[in-house]
Amino acid sequence: MIFVDIDGVLIPFRARKARTRGSNGGVPDAADGLGNPLLDRLDPADGERLLALRGELVWASTWAAEANEVVAPRLGLPALRVVDWPEEEEPRHGVHWKTAPVTRWAVGRPFVWLDDETTDADRRWVAANHPQPALLRRVDPYQGLTDADLAAVRHWLEQRERAG
């Protein structure tokens, strides 16, 4: 499983290089009055790059179901399953509030989590509370998903394939 956050991962905090209007596969831009103006920071190529990874993609974002309605079409992604967040998840000693729900959602399977807010505290918590390997890849929120991030994920997935 590959859990994907949106804000800071697919929508970086810093604007990406300008692209020509209509380069998003024919989906209207947010500037057309359809919502969040930061949607223009999505890179349509990220959809293909994510689909090329060997694993089930799952939204792990506060966008929830809107990820499939707004983000997926702009990236050329099919509708993905979505992590349902609990009403109140108490953070544990520096552990991100998403960490326990993502780990529970993985149901004891190996997983990758692409997020801009994970830390070593999250890695330690997952290692202590999850019986399978997990890669928590922190994406630089100002750059968004990069080739280096995807290469690290591919490498980790290939290692898992060889190991088992």
pLDDT tens per residue across span 130-155:
999 999 999 999 999 999 999 999 99
Specify the pLDDT at position 164.
73
Domain ranges of the chain: 2-163
Q: What is the pTM (predicted TM-score) of this model?
A: 0.88
Q: In this structure, what token pair is assigned to residue 103?
A: 């780990």
**Which residues of the chain fall short of a pLDDT of 50?**
19-33
- Would you tell me how many other CB atoms lie within 10 Å of the CB of residue 131? 9
Specify the pLDDT at position 18.
56
Task: Give the chain's largest Cα–Cα span.
Answer: 49
Specify the pLDDT at position 55.
94
Q: Which of 141, 154, 150, 164 is nearest to 41 (CA)?
A: 141
Specify the pLDDT at position 91.
67
Specify the pLDDT at position 108.
86
Specify the pLDDT at position 20.
40
* Residue the block writes with tokens 């929508």: 11
